[in-house]
Amino acid sequence: MKRILFLCTENSCRSQMAEAITNKILGSKVQAFSAGTKPSRVNPLAIKVLKEMGIDIGSARSKHVDEFKDKPFDLVVTLCGGAKESCPFWEGQGKRVHFGFPDPSKANGTEEEVLRAFKDVRDRMVEELIPLLKRELDLK
């Protein structure tokens, strides 16, 4: 089974969502994990939009990248978006790729507009990130 580590700064939205979506869609072929350099808490809106897909991350916790530094991975994916964000650095094993997403927790607007930002990231992960993972790991 292939192992993937998703990294972003707080391990609160993007990396948590990527981990859960990957485990749901590719779980028979890969085992996904997530972490951040400044872990905080899992964002309630990330929990909400994943629940719409039948994925429950309500008991997930935000993890520091150091928890995984001595573990082997086939692929390490950084998810930070804009130039203002600094992506976590990974010194451990595994091929590194970057696939940036805007941080939905930084979205402005009405409650519905912010929720839409989370849904957009979730949907792009399904439509764009999963095919990238399949290619990078040579999965059928």
Catalytic residues: 8, 80, 87
List Cα–Cα distances, 111 to 107, 114, 131, in angstroms.
Answer: 10, 5, 30
Q: Which two tokens stand for residue 122?
A: 């979730």
CA-to-CA distance for 109 and 103, rounded, in angstroms? 14
**Rounded to whole angstroms, how far apart are CA atoms 128 and 140?**
16
Provide the CB-side half-sphere exposure for 27 (13 A, CA). 8
